């Protein structure tokens, strides 16, 4: 089966989308962006191909006669167990690298006992992360392993009398290497078969579906890269497209009636106007810094010792948003501390910060040509409920009642546009 790949290398995450020969979505994947761009692309593509394989398994189950509930339960259990084995493999790599680093550093002798205790606990706890009904705040290995490692390190620092910051430094060194290790091509088959063996009471139809789905060859016929880091992608120049073009085409593919697109990513904001074919007619971007983007929210989360995913829900609890004068990342911490010292509530400060970000975006939209019906909001910030609420209110106040589209998969918009360009390029070359 021929597949067409789009990769969006962003400042925070790298996304990949895989399309089939008919242009339909086969799979999508996401990973943390990292210093090794080639590995980031490989991991994102690997995740997209894993997603595609699970889609093929679902298709095989549809033809098996298994009822809808049984099919959903079987697929959910298989993927949960698959992710468990994937996590355990990454944890084995983490253990090996951290032990090597400690073993090669004479000054780290006092950390060895603490490290062994931390790693043993992490290995013992791993299955519970993927038990039925277990909830995880993130699916990224860095986040999951980091959360447990730091909690365990705090305990060990006290009991083993080891400096906590040295254990944190060890994690930082290790995770950089772990994230630059790419899984081999056989990883899906190995983890899927291990997951199936762990699946007590698995329906026979699932085993047959797994065997048939893994036997389907997925040949990458063409690929296109885009994103904030597109110039550093390990792609030939002719396989690179502007993120403006990719977001415009991707938004059009998701919502064909789209005429205006707003993308707020980690490092930049884009206001894009498109025609009825998804072709960009005008655009504006923030051209100075990351002010008013996802990176700014990341600084705020760090200052408040919160997870990035916690900011939006907390801001939604505000009853009296604070007026924020600046969205400059350089002064973010100072203004935040000043507001807190004046007795302002955290949720009110956050609500004001979100509104300030959206006001900057509204200015870009106005300069690009205003907002036309339909309006599509894309990028990672589109998953933030406080940003969405602020945007909806300002759009309504300034442009009246318009259709605002937000897909749960909006973060993949740029990668989808890139994949569509890849398919077009392949079709043009074959004509």
Q: Is 343 left (phi over 0), alpha (psi -120 to 50) or beta?
A: left
Q: Are 241 and 348 in a shared domain?
A: no
| pLDDT value, residue 233 | 72
Residue 207, domain member (yes or no): no
Identify whether residues 188 and 232 lie together within a single domain.
no
Per-residue HEC secondary structure of the chain comes to: CEEEEEEEECCCEEEEEEECCCCCEEEEEEEECCCCHHHHHHHHHHHHHHHHHHHHHHHHHHCCCCCHHHHHHHHHHHHHHHHHHHHHHHHHHHHHHHHHHHHCCHHHHHHHHHHHHHHHHHHHHHHHHCCCCCCCCCCCHHHHHHHHHHHHHHHHHHHCCCCHHHHHHHHHHHHHHHCCCCCCCCHHHHHHHHHHHHCCCCCHHHHHHHHHHHHCCCEEEEEEEECCCHHHCCCCHHHECCHHHHHHHHHHHHCCCCCEEEEECCCCEEEEEECCCCCEEEEEECCCCCCCCHHHHHHHHHHCCCCHHHHHHHHHCCCCCCCCCCCCCCCHHHHHHHHHHCCCCHHHHHHHHHHHHHHHHHHHHHHHCCCCCCEEEECHHHHCHHHHHHHHHHHHHHHCCCCEECCCCHHHHHHHHHHHHHHHHHHHHHC
Q: Are residues 396 and 427 in the same domain?
A: no
Q: Report pLDDT for 395.
A: 94
What does the pLDDT read at residue 325? 64
Quick check: is 298 in a domain? yes
Whether residue 398 lies inside any domain: the answer is yes
269 and 401 share a domain?
yes
In a domain, residue 239? The reply is yes
pLDDT of residue 424: 94
Q: What is the pLDDT of residue 183?
A: 59
One domain for residues 194 and 244: no
Tell me the two tokens of residue 275.
């025609």
End-to-end CA distance of the chain: 19
Total domains in the chain come to 3
Exposure on the CB side of residue 340, measured as CA atoms within 13 A: 12
pLDDT at 26: 95
Q: Which CATH number goes with the domain that contains 396? A: 3.30.420.40
Mark whether 378 and 315 lie in a shared domain: yes
Which pLDDT score, from 0 to 100, does residue 96 have? 93
In this structure, the answer to whether residues 338 and 427 fall within a common structural domain is: no
Q: Whole domain around residue 236: which residue ranges?
A: 1-65+217-254+412-431
Residues 263 and 157 in one domain: no
pTM: 0.85
Residues 76 and 127 in one domain: yes
Residues 355, 260 share a domain: yes
List of the chain residues with pLDDT < 70: 106-108, 182-186, 287-292, 294, 325-333
Looking at the structure, do residues 394 and 264 belong to the same domain, yes or no? yes
Distance CA 378, CA 405 (A): 9
- Do 107 and 184 fall within a single domain? yes
Please check whether residue 211 lies inside any domain of the structure: no
């Amino acid at each position: 089966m021929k597949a067409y790949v789009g990769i969006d290398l962003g400042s925070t995450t790298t996304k990949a989308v895989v399309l089939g020969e008919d242009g339909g979505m086969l799979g999508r994947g996401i990973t943390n962006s990292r210093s090794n761009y080639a590995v980031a692309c490989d991991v994102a593509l690997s995740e997209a191909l894993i997603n595609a394989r699970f889609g093929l398994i679902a298709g095989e189950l549809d033809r098996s006669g298994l009822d809808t509930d049984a099919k959903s339960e079987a697929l959910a259990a298989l993927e949960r167990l698959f992710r468990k084995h994937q996590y355990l493999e990454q944890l084995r790599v983490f253990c090996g690298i951290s032990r090597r680093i400690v073993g090669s550093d004479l000054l780290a002798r006092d950390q060895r006992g603490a490290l062994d205790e931390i790693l043993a606990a992490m290995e013992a706890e791993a299955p519970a992360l993927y038990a039925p009904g277990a909830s995880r705040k993130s699916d990224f290995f860095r986040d999951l392993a980091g959360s447990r490692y730091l909690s365990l390190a705090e305990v060990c620092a006290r009991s083993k009398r080891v400096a906590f910051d040295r254990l944190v430094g060890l994690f930082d060194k290790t995770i950089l290497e772990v994230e630059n290790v790419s899984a081999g091509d056989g990883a899906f088959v190995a983890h899927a078969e291990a997951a199936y063996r762990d699946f007590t009471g698995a329906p026979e139809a699932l085993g047959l579906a797994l065997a048939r789905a893994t036997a389907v060859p997925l040949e990458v016929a063409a690929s296109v890269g885009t994103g904030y880091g597109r110039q550093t992608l390990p792609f030939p120049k002719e396989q690179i497209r502007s993120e403006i073009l990719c977001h415009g085409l991707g938004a059009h593919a998701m919502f064909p009636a789209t005429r205006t697109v707003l993308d707020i990513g980690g490092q930049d904001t884009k206001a894009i106007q498109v025609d009825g074919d998804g072709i960009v007619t005008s655009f504006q971007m923030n051209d100075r810094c990351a002010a008013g983007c996802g990176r700014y929210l990341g600084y705020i989360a760090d200052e408040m010792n919160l997870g990035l995913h916690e900011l939006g829900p907390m801001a939604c609890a505000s009853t009296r948003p604070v007026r924020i004068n600046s969205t400059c990342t350089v002064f973010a911490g100072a203004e935040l501390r000043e507001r807190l010292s004046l007795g302002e509530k955290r949720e009110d400060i956050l609500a004001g910060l979100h509104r300030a970000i959206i006001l900057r975006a509204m200015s870009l939209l106005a300069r690009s040509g205003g907002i036309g019906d339909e309006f599509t909001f894309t990028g990672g910030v589109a998953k933030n409920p406080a940003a969405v609420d602020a945007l909806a209110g300002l759009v309504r106040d300034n442009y009246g009642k318009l259709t605002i589209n937000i897909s749960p998969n909006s973060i993949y918009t740029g990668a989808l546009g890139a994949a569509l360009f890849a398919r077009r390029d392949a079709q043009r070359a074959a004509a």
